[in-house]
Every structure is written in structure tokens, then in C-alpha cells.
A and B are shown apart, each in its own frame.
Chain A
Amino acid sequence: MSAGVVIIGMGNPLLSDDGVGIAVARAVAERLRHRNDLALLELHTGGIRLMEAMAGYRQAVVVDAMLSGAPAGTLKRFDAMDFVTSKNTFSSHDTDFATAYDLGRMAGVPLPEQVSFWGIEALEFDLFGERFTAEVAAALPGAVNRIVDEIVNGRAA
């Protein structure tokens, strides 16, 4: 398990576009299924749970829906350092990811040095349903390609 890459899809797959992070994560894992150093995880809530989920891996790639005001389907990449939060990466039941990450470090949890966050702008996020809006569905293949490319080739300069 250790020293590999963990791809973490966040969100609720029953809540329309909120599930896009999980769908992208699943598709990325499927594209890279020939690799034996890649694990897929799905999480509904972040905070301490998210920090715990990446423990023991060399690299973590987190994909989540976001509500930033950008056009629906927009893909954005964040480094851990400049990341505030996307839609589900904090848990207000405990804390945000940055605090959880510091907590993990304080507690001696082996956390990855490389953590990247990918946000996909959602449109419909408070209606129960298992379909994406057209804008988000259209953005899905491009998001998968970019994330796969970065995992395989490293970050473009």
C-alpha cells in the first residue's frame, strides 16, 4: 500500500453534480488500472477523514466539486500550499483540510509530500439525483485526461 499514489474522489454520488469528483476519480483509476501502485478512495466529507485517507501514500490526488463562481464544468488545480477548500474537503464537524494536515504532522502520521487538489465547478448540488448537468458531464473527459496526464508525466512546467 505505502509509497503509492492515492486518488481520492470526494462528494456525494447521489447528489447530482456533487458526485463529479467521485466519477472523475473512478475514471482516472480505470484508465490507470494497469498500474499496481494506485489506490482509489471515495469520501463524502473531508477534514480529519481526508488527512487520514492519504496516510501512508507518497502522492495524493484529490478531486472534488467546487462552487467558486466560475462557469459550470471549469477545472482548476490547486497545490496543497495555496489550497483553501473545495466543496467537500473540509468537515465542519471537525476542521478544514489544512488544519487536519497539520494535526496529522503533529501526531506523526506519515503524510504524502505531494498533494494536489482538482476542483470541478458544479451547477446542481442540492438536488438528489444520479445525473450530472450537461455542462459538468461535458467537462468530465477533459478533467480525467488532465489528471491522468499529471499522474503519468508529472506536472507540466
Chain B
Amino acid sequence: MTTRITIDPITRLEGHGRIDIFLNDQGTVENACFQIPELRGFEQFCVGRMAEEMPVITNRICGVCPEAHHLAATKALDGVFGAEPTSVARKLRELLYMAFFVTDHTTHFYALGGPDFIVGPDAPPSERNILGVARKVGLDVAGEVIACRKRNHEIITFLGGKSIHPVAGVPGGWSRPITEAERVQIEDTARRNIEFARFSLTVFDNIVLKNPAYLEMITCDTYLHRTYSMGTVDANNQCNFYDGLIRVLDPEGNEFARYHPSEYREHIAERVEPWTYLKYPYLKKVGWQGLTDGIGSGIYTATPLSRLNVSEGMATPLANAEYQRMYEAFGCKKLTGARYQPIHHRMATHWARLIELLYASEHMLELALDPEITSPETRNIPDPARFVGEGVGSVEAPRGTLTHHYVTDARGVLTKVNMIVGTTNNYAPISMSIRRAAEKLITNNAPDESILNRIEMAFRLYDPCFSCATHFLPGKMPLTVALHGSSGELLREMRRKG
């Protein structure tokens, strides 16, 4: 007999998902899976439209990362129209992206991931939120988070040409140059961001790392999966959010692949399983072995932690120092001059996210100080003779590598659209983390609320956002846990308010 536990909906998760945990007669976990309903008809919606509409259509797919979709779409258009962006256009795109990363990672830490640590995994759900964080860290932090979002949203708004849904990306460039006064504002914002990122790392240090129970939660093997790691790297093999080659390391830390995003189909395949609409991407050249880790399983991870795993140190000094500190803390050996053995403890993703926050802030300052950043040369007008009709655009979304692939006819009308969104990359690792957490924590038929929250923590660390590929049915946000017998009868139902 199998008992089924359902957690539905998941509090604090963007998009709607549901966890099913199947218990056997002994009350231990038989299996666990994550199911997500899908948005329908996106490709049909796009096919037949002019390709240049995509940056403003795709940025409507998701309310959380419109900037990531806007840039991936714009880069795909560079390819379709055979138009290389100018040097300053690339920098302006990156500048918008750094401001976006700062807001997104800040919000995740203080509102989504952080409450579990800062308020505590056993605190009631009504306190385990950003208000609880502010009460613990200090009320000023609420104002700091709001101020951080505000100053960066202002920059995103003028750089992107519109608040919320940017419109400035065009094939071959960026339609909005910046003035010297705006540059000064960006520089000032970047400096404040650096301070705020350092403060956030100190909070993490003091409240999480110096608490033996939380440190144990991060370093224990409950949330450990030895998968391949993926991330975009620059010419120096250092982590880059906007552009570069995709680097994949095996679980030991050896380079397994390094390829241009346009070659993704040679490296990534998608597994369809009957219980979910979402596909499980995996490394084609390793193969699909089911939801299992290790060097023989093609499952890979694309998160802040995996991006740091594949990176030869960080490209900015303060972030690099923090990077070294994290890997040293885990006792990882150095594999090259700058890179360490990969960390597979998934809870370290929260730490890695803060290091990325610092990197994004520092890189934003570098871009603001770049002598050509106020240049008006923001666009190469596409030359019809160079029209290609196919393009792949890829960026690192905060929650994983995002790929857009468009094919058009000779008029530039879309005939095919494919996407691998950030979270989708991590669907298999998320499923494994949930199962592992359930296996380790559920030892009888009556899991209590904190145990269920710890299972939620297993996927919250991935910062998943399913509103890209899927949809959510909120209406209310309580947590419902239902226990079902093997014939589907309801054995027990527990509810709590979100």
C-alpha cells in the first residue's frame, strides 16, 4: 500500500506547483514528485508574428523576470537579423541586467529564501516571511530592501524605456542611450548596492553560518546531490550573466563541455514523463538514468551555486574574496589556479546567490565607470544582406540558464519558437531534492509542519519560478497536506494558512 501526501499549493513559490509524496506501508517515502500545470499555446501564439515582436511578448510571459526574457529575446533577434550589437549596446544591456539581478536576488534572500534561516525553519508560517526577517535583523532592513528595489527599478525604467516590461532591446543594439546625469545616478546606485550586498553577506554570516544548527542544515547530506553543474562563462571562464559560452562540469569538477548557446540541441535533450507536462532537460551525451545523481546521470543543475562551481573565481574583487571564503568553508580543494571542487550541498545556493548579488553590484559599478557607456552609438542597423532567419539568445536568468530559439521565414515571420526557461533546467534536481528531503525527514505517517517546511526549503533554494513555463492557480495561499491511501481514499487532511 502506498500513502500519498500532497503539499498544495506551495507557499512563497512563484507559479503553482504541487508536491506529491508517496509513503509505503512502513511510513517511509516510496517516491516523491513535483507536478505543474502548463500554460498552453505559447508557440502557436508566436508563430506567424514578426520576430521583432518577441522582446515585448516574451517579457510578458513572466512577471518575475521580464528583463531576462527581454534580453534573451533581443539576443535571439541579433542572430535572426545577423546584426551584432555595438560595444556600448552590449554594455547597456548588461547594465540593465545587473540592476535586475540586484533586485531579484535581494528579494529572494529577504522575502523568500532567507525567512527559513533568519526566522527559522520551525517558526510558524505567519512569521516566516519578510516581516519576520525585519523583526529579527532590525526594522531598518525593511526600508533597506524597499530602497534597494526602488533605486534599481528607477534605472531599469529609464534604461529599459518602460517600467516592468522593458522595450529598449532591438536587433543589433539598444534604443536608449544614457546621459551623463543618468550615468552618475547609476554609479551612485551601484555603490549603494555594493554596500547592501556586503551587509547581506554579513547578515548571512552572523545569523546563519554562526548558528551551529543552521550550519549543520547547510552542510549535512540531506540536501546533497552530486550532479553536473552548468553556467555561462566569459573568455576567462568566469561567471557571466549576460553572454559567453555554456560551461558544464562533471560532479568531480572536470570540464565536461563548453559550447556556444546556439549548439544547445547537441548537448541538451528533454525527457518527457507521464506525470507532468514539464520536460526534464538532461545532458544528451551522458543520458537519462531517471531521477538520480552521479557522474553517470545526465541531470545537471543551473543555479547560482552551479554558476560559481563552473567559474574560475569571480571577475570582481570583493565577490571573488567571498567566493574563496565559501569554497574554503566547505573544505573544497583547489582544482586550478582559481577554481575549487564543486559544492553539491544545495543549501549553499543561498550563499552563492549573495555572492552573485555582490558580483552584480560590483560589475554594475564597472559598467557605470566605463568611458564609453554614455556613447550614443547604441545600434548597428541590421543589413538585409546579412539576414539569417534563425537565432538563439541565451542569458543566465537568476534562476538558471535561459534560452530562446527562433526560426523565421525570409520575411522575418516566425515559423518556430522554442525556449528552455531557467527553472526548467532544474526540474530534475528540484524533484531529487524534494524526494531526498522527504526520505530523510519523514519517518512515519505524521509529518509535522516544520518537516513539511523543510521539504519546501528543498525547492525554495532553487528560487524556482514556474510562471514562465506554467501557470498558477492561487485564489488563496494556505498549505494543504492530504494523505491518500493506495486506492486514492483520503486518510487525513491538514491545512495551514500561508
Contacts and interface: CB of A to CB of B under 8 A. Distances in A.
A126 B475 CA distance: 15
A126 B143 contact: no
B15 to A, nearest CB: 7
Interface in A77-133: 84-88, 90-96, 99, 102-104, 106-109, 125-129
A92 B134 contact: no
Contact of B130 (A66, A86, A95, A108): A95
A104 B14 CA distance: 21
Interface in B30-57: 37-42, 44-45, 57
B63 interface: yes
Interface string B62-96: 11101000000000000000000000000000000
A102 B62 CA distance: 25
A126 B474 contact: no
Contacts of B42: 128
B142 interface: yes
Contact of B41 (A86, A104, A128): A128
A52 B472 contact: no
A67 B142 contact: no
Interface in B79-131: 107-108, 111-112, 129-131
B107 A85 contact: no
Given A48-B107, A95-B111, A103-B130, A88 B475 contact: no
B14 A67 contact: no
Interface residues of B, number: 51
Interface string B460-487: 0001010100011111110000000000
Interface stretch (A9-17, A23-31, A149-157): A9-17
B56 to A, nearest CB: 10
B60 interface: yes
Contact of A91 (B14, B60, B153, B471): B14
B465 A93 contact: yes
A44 interface: yes
Interface in A39-93: 42-45, 47-49, 52, 66-68, 84-88, 90-93
B164 interface: yes
Contacts of B108: 93
Given A14-B57, A92-B12, A128-B40, A103 B474 contact: no
Nearest to A102: B131
Given A94-B130, A96-B477, A103-B134, A125 B471 contact: yes
Nearest to B471: A126
A67 B130 contact: no
Interface residues of A, number: 40
A116 to B, nearest CB: 19
Contacts of B498: 96
A27 B491 CA distance: 49
Given A92-B14, A92-B15, A99-B131, A85 B474 contact: yes
B64 A91 contact: yes
B150 interface: yes
Name the residue in A103, A104, A108 with the highest tally of chain B Cβ atoms < 10 Å from its Cβ.
A103
A99 B111 CA distance: 10
Given A44-B63, A92-B14, A95-B111, A103 B131 contact: yes
B63 A88 contact: yes
Counting from the closest, the 4 A-B pairs by CB-CB distance are A45-B63, A44-B63, A128-B45, A94-B111
Given A86-B475, A107-B145, A128-B39, 6 more contacts: A48-B111, A49-B63, A67-B474, A94-B12, A94-B107, A103-B146
8 contacts: A67-B474, A90-B474, A92-B11, A92-B13, A103-B131, A106-B139, A108-B143, A125-B473
Interface of B: 10-15, 37-42, 44-45, 57, 60-64, 66, 107-108, 111-112, 129-131, 134, 139, 142-143, 145-147, 149-150, 153, 164-165, 463, 465, 467, 471-477, 498
